[in-house]
A and B are shown apart, each in its own frame.
Chain A
């Protein structure tokens, strides 16, 4: 339920999707359906399953370095123009298409989804376009959300936002011209979603101007509730957008309106392309004249945000560290992170929760269909070397199991040190243990003696290529003959690792980032046998263990964060016992700012600077 890439693509390209979005929990009981709601919300305050900020800070354990949890949200100075130097361009600036960290940086400044996260919050999204928490029916199949009064679209639409605008925004996710990446995964349980094509369908109704109701065909309210914090739920005015949504691909991103404190600079017709956004060159966010602070929790200190796109990351890094009113809001070069750590420490922020990288091995056929061979590979792999290749301890932790550190259930699944199994206990690799498992697998001298040459497909460019080499050398040390191919990351996923028919044995560069803080967002698409697809497959190792499949199906229907955390932690432990894949590293993300910028990083968005909270000193 989520995917890779996103910002984590910063430190190293990864697979599927973008970001994370912590589970949607609420702190106060709703009026209706209190019992069901209480189930959904029950674990909000649970310290046993949900990592507290202090635990997360501890997990990154670098003294003197700021994290998003340590930033003040209210002490900013109003006014000024922030200049952002980004090496990378946006992928999409349409809330229906955006699914990438860099996109989210502007989405959450210009759009207001039903719920969104305050910068220092991982587990508790706040009502944004919604006026309060969602109300979930007792049977978990109906979700009711009331939206705020008095929120207006930016020019040229100008009118007040209604529930019909939220309905249209989500419905257009099923429009093939929009091609939303997560509609089917997260909203697929809505009644009629399977036949939806961009217009109204029975799963979404609007009984009045300020109420929207979601009708589910099965009791999977938690996932739908979680997904309401993604940009797809940000209102879109149908009378304005429909003409653009009729084009393939949609051009709504190029002609858009905003509901957030900022909007892309545009002409009188809402045209953004060539005015407030020049692909590959620049983007300009200005204040939305129709935004009312009284309806929003964002302080919106800045007057304008000028985003310059392109350039070399080493040069950009130095410009930011030595310059004025600047931030870099995409991957920072490793050399610059090191420079900032040594000489500009107060201008460096490191955020936990940037996803993971692991090595997918073919569970279905070939040598890795044997569990002991998988354990041998796990035991032999030097995960500390992989961490060093990715930038060292400042930006990575050795990965020891499959839930991410920010996900409820992480501690129960083993925490940072991981489960106590011998093949997991030596991150630097232990050939003796590896050979023990090779012998158990039927290779008496501890080395592979079969005839097969392993097909290993990794990604080009450092550090991915270095990681692929480390994995390849480890395989050779176990006696395997290998054929290592390095291809572009997108090709690696779309042509090889994501296509089971290609029969790839090892994919050393896959990774994942969760959309919200729930085990389902990490382990479902990647390890459920039911998720295996003939193409665009994210279960890269084709893991299809009947016991795990059943456990995943049961966990999907559980309500309440604590109960869900427990269930997904148990699944994680099963995956480790199965050695379903070989863990490599959990990632953290570095961000830099000029000395006169009071940057506020967005914990939910991998620490990216949040334009609605950042200010100039």
Chain B
């Protein structure tokens, strides 16, 4: 098992190097804009731009720039400085991470709980009215764009602009450490909106998977042994049916930790997604580069966690 984990970690590290190289190509080589010109600001003179080009090392050869870039990232975790605020990208990301983690983990707990509950009930009561209603609702939620759902939630429930005015709306987010109560209430609407689509996807996934598993021989055997239906479903059926859900959960959490752009923007939550969105809007490439790397890191880590969990649950994975 240890060998397997080490192997996965090495692959993850290699992947991270490749992603770093890719971001270098994207932002330095392909035509995404001249970093010196962007750093210099609008209408800067060629003289100023030339001076900044030297400062940023853009006058060096591409291999040399690449080496300095990679060295900066991997030896010093130096992601550069914002073109506009001159703030360190590393500190900006560190500052935004708690909000994104709060949003993602809270929403994940909701969508996993809701998806599991609805999926199991729908699978067990297949083709019942309840199943049809649940799957119909799931289809609607999957089709609803997050941005639209966020706006509707605010226009209905936000205390400042909603019709029912029961929950804090956009701009109400505060950090967990500064006021846990406000932190909790400010995240309820964003959690629900972010969880809605995912819960629907998970419910459909679990339903399909569980229906398939419930037709297996060992389930029939379990029933023949006289186990209660509840025990058969939860202990024997769900344990197998949940494997594909684990895979997708790991990836979803990894992706969202890289930033839930739309929800963070609509609810004015200062997370990684909004940092990235604002940076793209202003072509603040050091920040875009930094957030892309952080997103890649989360996805790679999530993948490794899922792989290791698989291996733990199913020894055949380790062997293969």
Which residues of chain A have a CB within 8 Å of any CB of chain B?
2-5, 15-18, 85, 88-93, 97, 99-100, 176-177, 179-185, 248-251, 253-254, 273, 277-281, 308, 310-312, 314-316, 318-319, 322-323, 488, 490-491, 494-495, 525, 533-536, 538
Contacts and interface: CB of A to CB of B under 8 A. Distances in A.
B64 interface: no
B79 to A, nearest CB: 14
Given A312-B265, A319-B161, A185 B34 contact: no
A99 B48 CA distance: 15
Interface in B15-52: 31-34, 37-49, 51-52
Nearest to B269: A310
Interface stretch (B83-91, B298-306, B308-316): B83-91
Interface string B64-93: 000000000000000001101111000010
A51 to B, nearest CB: 25
Contact of A310 (B40, B92, B278): B278
A249 B39 CA distance: 9
B282 interface: yes
B40 A179 contact: yes
27 contacts: A3-B43, A5-B42, A16-B43, A85-B171, A91-B41, A91-B84, A92-B41, A93-B85, A97-B41, A179-B48, A181-B41, A184-B45, A279-B82, A280-B274, A280-B275, A281-B95, A310-B265, A310-B268, A311-B268, A315-B151, A319-B169, A495-B31, A495-B33, A495-B34, A535-B46, A536-B40, A536-B44
A488 B32 CA distance: 8
B43 A314 contact: no
B170 A89 contact: no
Contact of A536 (B46, B82, B154): B46
Size category of the B interface is: 35 or more
B87 A273 contact: yes
B266 interface: yes
B161 A279 contact: no
B52 A179 contact: yes
Contacts of A315: 151, 154, 161, 169-170, 266, 268
Contact of B87 (A17, A279, A488, A525): A279
Task: Give me the 5 closest cross-chain CB pairs, A-B, nearest first.
Answer: A311-B268, A176-B51, A184-B45, A279-B85, A490-B283
A3 B40 CA distance: 14
Contacts of A310: 265, 268, 270, 274, 278
A312 B267 CA distance: 8
B212 interface: no
B253 to A, nearest CB: 23
B229 interface: no
Contacts of A253: 85-86
Nearest to B155: A318
B179 interface: no
A309 to B, nearest CB: 8
B265 A311 contact: yes
A468 to B, nearest CB: 18
Contact of A184 (B48, B85, B95, B274): B48
Contact of B41 (A99, A278, A311, A318): A99
Contacts, number: 161
Given A16-B42, A495-B34, A314 B270 contact: no
Given A179-B39, A181-B43, A491 B33 contact: yes
Contacts of A16: 42-43
Contacts of A248: 55
A93 B170 CA distance: 26
Given A279-B85, A323-B160, A311 B40 contact: no
Nearest to A176: B51
Contacts of A488: 32-33, 280, 283
Contact of B86 (A176, A251, A318, A536): A251
A535 B42 CA distance: 12
Contacts of A525: 43
Contacts of B278: 88-89, 280, 310
Nearest to B147: A312
Nearest to A247: B86
Nearest to A324: B160
Given A491-B32, A494-B34, A319 B84 contact: no
A100 B41 CA distance: 10
A523 B210 CA distance: 71
Contacts of A495: 31, 33-34
A179 B44 contact: yes
Given A311-B171, A312-B170, A314-B151, A494 B38 contact: yes
Given A97-B41, A535-B49, 10 more contacts: A16-B42, A88-B281, A89-B282, A91-B84, A278-B95, A280-B275, A310-B270, A315-B169, A534-B46, A536-B44
Nearest to B96: A280
Contact of A17 (B33, B42, B160, B161): B42
Contacts of B147: 312
Contacts of B55: 176-177, 248
A17 B43 contact: yes
Contacts of B34: 494-495, 535
Interface in B193-229: none
Contacts of B51: 176, 179
Contacts of A534: 46
A278 B268 CA distance: 14
B149 to A, nearest CB: 13
A18 B42 contact: yes
Contacts of B96: 280
Contact of B38 (A177, A322, A490, A535): A490
